Structures are given as C-alpha cells and as structure tokens.
Structure 1
Amino acid sequence: MDAIGRYRLQSKVGAGAFATVWRGYDDDLDVDVAVKVLADNWASRADVRERFLSEARLMRRIASDRVVRVFDLGALEDGRPYFVMDYVSGGTLAEVLAAGPVDPADALWWGADLARAVAALHAEGVVHRDITPANLLLRPSGGKESGGGTHRIVLADLGLAKRAAEASGLTEAVGTPSYMAPEQGRGDGGFDERADVYAVGAVTYALLTGRAPFVASSITDVVGRDPDQDPPSLRPLLQDAVGQVDELLARALAYRVGDRWAQAHTLAERLEAEAYRLEQEAPLLASLRTSAGGEDGVSTTVNSSAGSAAGSSTGSGAGSAAAVPPETVAGTSRRGRRGKRWRGLALFVLVPVVFVAAAVGAWYFAGR
C-alpha cells in the first residue's frame, strides 16, 4: 500500500491489536502526518469499529496542543476506517524508559508536564483511562519547557478515553495493569479523573526508578494490592534530596480514591516545586559528597539524561542514558557514607563561621 487517500505512506511506525499507524505525507498541505487504520481482523466487529471512530471524533473535539489532533477521517476500499493525525516526531516516553531511569530532576519535570497535559484533557471533560509511557508522545518544543529539556509530552491513543460524565457508569475493566488505578481494575464503575492522577504518579515513579511502582501483570494483581501499601521509598535513590517526593507520589498512588490528589494540576504544581528544589540542591549535595572523603566524585543518584527519542506517534526511535545504580557506591558502607556526609556538612558550615570570627576579631583589635 503506497497511499491512503491523498496521503503518501512512508513507513509503518506502530502496530497494535486493533490498529496500525503509518507515517505519511500530505502533499497538499506539505506536512508529515500519522495515519491510523483499523486492523482488518476487526473490520467486521461493529463495536470495535464504533470505538475506533469514537476515538477520532473525541480527539478532534479536544482543543489542546497537549493532545494529538485529528484532522481527517475516511475509509479504505475494503471499508476499513482510518483517521489522520498530527505527526509527533520526538518518539515516545517508553523509548526513553527503555534506556533506564532518567535524571531525578528531569523525571519530576516530565511528571509535572504529564500532569499538565492530563489536566488539559480533564478540562475538556475527558478521562483518558490508559496513560502509559507508550501512549505519551514527545513533541520538540525548541526550548527548555519541561523535563528532558526540549520536548513536551503529548497525549495519544484515546481509544479507551471517555467523557467524565460517562466514566462513573463504566463496568469494563480496561487499561495497562502496571499503570492502572485499582478502581479501574474492579470494574464497578466507580472512577473519575483521579484514575488518571494515579497513572501520572505511576509514570513519574517509573521515570525516577526505571520500573513501575507496583508489580502487576494482571488486573487481579491491581485489585489484590494491599490498600495500605505505599510504593517502595525513593530515599535510596534521592537520599538527602528526597524532600517531599516520597509523600506526594505515595498520595498520587494511593489505593483508595479519596486519599489521592483530587486534581492533576495540583499534582503538577507539587512536582514542579520538587523538581525546582532538587535542581537547586543537587550541586550543593554533590559538592558535599565529593568533599566528604572523596568517593571519586561518584554521585549516588541516578546519573543519566533522557535520550531524545526520534520516532513517531507510536514510536520508532530510542533514547540513550547511562545509569548508576542508586545502591552502588564503591568501597563505602551506608553508615560510612552517612558519617562522611555529616563531616562534610560540618566543614561546610564551620569554615565560613571561622572566617567571620577572624574578621570580627581583626576589626575589634584594630579599633583598639
């Protein structure tokens, strides 16, 4: 197949159970596009076909650059529907995560950017229901607007998305287990925008650690989690700089809906504050660790940067990152490292005090 409608096909960029996405080119508008086509094995299923078309209509109605926009809809000669979207060239967050965790401050900035995108979706009265790294596209922004430096997160794949007014009545358990809120797994119809807030917390945690916060290979694992279980602490990773990150992500990932952040934009503000704090504290903590006995300048935080994924709306590129395991610092025990850090801090505080005292003494005796 060389073309779909007026769109010249260039390469296949992704294929799932229900659809295939192609990178194409619109000669009339002189722009790259992404064309999503319903899989032929589902073409005869009226319910699947209607869900596919509903996704296109919903994406078209959402007036936000945080969501991939649909601008054309049609059908192939065999009757299969397709829709045409903006082409997002930065790849997916899943490709970045394939290289391991990213720098902690970048992870928090990216989490905040995702929360802002989700808040924009919620402002349109829509719940996504399937926020995963593979459904998060990276759009080059031309400036450092968010985590990762020059890319912004754009929401894609709204195949499971629903109007918020409809969400409370849904009983079908759908989603990706590792990023699915427990109430979605129960399928009792009792969920709202806070299900997406949970997913934002899960993605942010994965960016920090390279893995989802809870092991969940099935919906049973999601529902069967201990309601009082918090995600593993980030203190071994962030150590002295952990701040409020543990608490705010534990709240986002709370099993009980009422214990979570009520709105995505509130979580975004908190993540932004922690990202900024971490950026400000990182140089000081790094200098203290280096001065407190050497450690050969090795930081105990993840020392990596997110690769710039070059890909498409369902991913074809790969990021690059080099990670230092958070629990690994050569030749030192945890107690020894703690002692060195305290000695370094003492020196950092005492040296300026000594200089000030000497200056005051010199001034005093000079006056006499």
Structure 2
Amino acid sequence: MQKLGRYLLEDRLGAGSFATVWRAYDPEFDTDVAVKVLADNWASNADVRERFLAEARLLRKISSPRVVRVHDVGVQDDRPYFVMDYVRGGTLAERIGHCRPAEALRLAAEAAYAVQVLHDTGVVHRDVKPSNLLLDAGRTPPAVLVADLGSAKRLADASGVTVTTGTPAYMAPEQAFRTGGFDGRADVYALGVVTFELLTGERPFGAGGRLDLTRKRASTSSPPAIPREPGVPDGIDALLRAALSVDPEHRPRTARAFADALLSGEGREGVPAGSSRPTRLVVWLSAVALYLVTAILTWLVR
C-alpha cells in the first residue's frame, strides 16, 4: 500500500490534469482522510506548484462547515500534497438523475449557500460543478460542501484575469471569453447549470467544447424550459432562465439570493427586478459578440 507521510493511500477518489485525490487512512487519529497529490509531471513547474499550495492555504483560511477543511500539508519525493476532510456521501454528480425535484432544489440551494461562504471571504470559485460539490451523508439532512479551489480567484483580482480556467459546460460567458471582469455572478451562472442538471438529468446547453457552447448560446437567449413536474414550483423556470442569462446583470445578485429563491417555493423572488427575460437589444448584442468570438477562435485554430 502506497504511503504519503503517515497517510496510507487506499482508494483513488478522482483525478484531474494537475492532481489526484485519494481516500487515505490516518493511523495517528484512526480516521479516514482525503489526500490531494500534485501530479508527477507538474511537480517541477513552479507556477503550478505554487497554485497547488495556494489552494491548500486558501482552504485552510476559510473556516466553515460548508467548505472542506485542510488539516496538513507535506512533500514526498518532491511532490507536494495536502490532507483534507474525507466527506462520506460522494458528490452531486452521483445524484444527477437520481433525486426527486424537492431534493434536487434542496441540494442546489445547499450548494449555493456553500458558494456564498467563498464570496463572503472575497473569493470566486470559477469551477463550480457537480463533481466539486461534496455530499456529507453524516449530517441530517445531508449537507453540501464546496471543494477544489484550484481555479479560485480573489474577487479583488478578477478584473485582471487573462487566463481562462474552469469547465466549459458550467462557465459563464464573461468567464469563458474574458469579455471584461467577472464577479460572484459567474458562480451563480454555474449554480444555475448545476440546478438545471439536478432537476432534468441534462445540462441546459449540452456538454460540448467551448466553440460548440458559443454557437448554442449565440442562437438561443435562454435554456430549455424545466419540465412541469410535480414538486417544481412555477417560478423555478424563470429563476433558472435569469441565472443562465448571458448578461450578469439579469442574474440573481448573489448565490445566497439564488439559494433563498430555490427554497422559497416561488423562484421568482431571486430574479432581479425587470430582468425576467433579456431585452431584444441585449440578446442581439450578445449573439453578435459571441458570433464574433466564435469566428475569431475558429480562425485561430485552423
């Protein structure tokens, strides 16, 4: 069995481009933990290494039961790692297609409240998606914790971001194409995608790459309507259309407002006044802008 420091690695929980997360056993405290290890091929890259350790420091500073906690950091064979809570219950990705509307809305609201904790500390996540939202089955009812701050950015620095990061299917247009600065409403957009997916089992704009998503968003001003199933309040459709708006000004202003609206039984409460749907001018301008971005990117990749 592989060992990192005193931690015995048991099961691989997930892997990305830069790191792998393991379920491990801590013999000192006789408990399971999660250990995130930087990939071999990135260990010598100073920038990636610093971002990896910055994530650990950021998680350590945020003290909230809604955010995964970091307990230890270490280096072995020149590969840094950090040790976090092991959250029993899997991720929201495993709940897609397997929960009733009322439970889907509750889980989505839990996720939004967790993201609001980050915003309250001046941080935007930038990669909110079901696999980064952990379900703590040890609480009643199960709670949602936010994890993986590898793409997180301080709101004070958001206007100077020049590198696109995140998962295309969940990225707000202003984040995907860097059309100016962004704020916590980019995470609200991602929460809208997550909520739609929990309710329907599908993503509102599909799972294509960035260029494909651009074409879809340019050709439609809003996602498909939420099916009128028992347990889904009438206002949820309008709320999600607002959250997934191309224009951040039309989205709920905060993740907390979005969560409150999901739980209120009348989703319209989370829609900013006068923004139930984008104006024709905004839709037209957004479509033109996205079309131009698509054309430029298509020309560059030829």
For the criterion TM > 0.5, the same-fold answer is: yes
- Taking only the aligned residue pairs, the percentage that are identical comes to 55
Residues 21 and 34, structure 2, Cα contact 8 Å, conserved in 1: yes
Q: Is structure 2 residue 115 aligned with structure 1 residue 123?
A: no
Q: What residue identity is the alignment partner of 1:13? A: L
- Stretches of structure 1 that go unaligned for 5 or more consecutive residues are 145-150, 277-368
Partner of 1:156: 147
Show CA shifts across 1:122-179 (max 9, x none): 11111000011111111124323xxxxxx11111111000111111211211111111
Partner of 2:104: 107
Show CA shifts across 1:270-319 (max 9, x none): 1001289xxxxxxxxxxxxxxxxxxxxxxxxxxxxxxxxxxxxxxxxxxx
Residues 24 and 32, structure 2, Cα contact 8 Å, conserved in 1: yes
Q: Is structure 2 residue 86 aligned with structure 1 residue 87?
A: yes
- Stretches of structure 2 that go unaligned for 5 or more consecutive residues are 268-302
**1:106, distance to aligned residue in structure 2 (A):** 1.0
Larger Rg over CA atoms: 1
Q: Is structure 2 residue 164 aligned with structure 1 residue 173?
A: yes
Show CA shifts across 1:80-139 (max 9, x none): 101111111111111122xx2521111111111111111111111110000111111111
Partner of 1:339: none
Q: Distance in 2 between matches of 1:89 and 1:122?
A: 25
Larger RCO: 1 or 2 (CA < 8 Å, sep 6+): 1
Q: Is structure 2 residue 268 aligned with structure 1 residue 238?
A: no
**1:242, distance to aligned residue in structure 2 (A):** 4.2
Q: What residue identity is the alignment partner of 1:232? A: P
Show CA shifts across 1:7-60 (max 9, x none): 122222222221111111112222211111111011121111111111111111
30-39 or 240-249: which moved more? Answer: 240-249
Return structure 1 stretches of 4+ with deviation > 6 angstroms.
none
Residues 175 and 182, structure 2, Cα contact 8 Å, conserved in 1: yes
Q: Secondary structure at the match of 1:190?
A: coil
Q: Distance in 1 between matches of 2:46 and 2:79?
A: 11
Q: Distance in 1 between matches of 2:21 and 2:29?
A: 20
Q: Distance in 2 between matches of 1:130 and 1:37?
A: 19
Residues 119 and 263, structure 1, Cα contact 8 Å, conserved in 2: yes
Q: What TM-score, normalized by structure 2, do the two folds share?
A: 0.83
Change in CA separation of 1:269 and 1:192 when aligned onto 2, cut-off 3 Å? same
Q: What TM-score, normalized by structure 1, do the two folds share?
A: 0.69
| Alignment counterpart, residue 140 of structure 1, candidates 132, 137, 145 | 137
Paired residue total: 266
Q: Distance in 2 between matches of 1:207 and 1:230?
A: 18
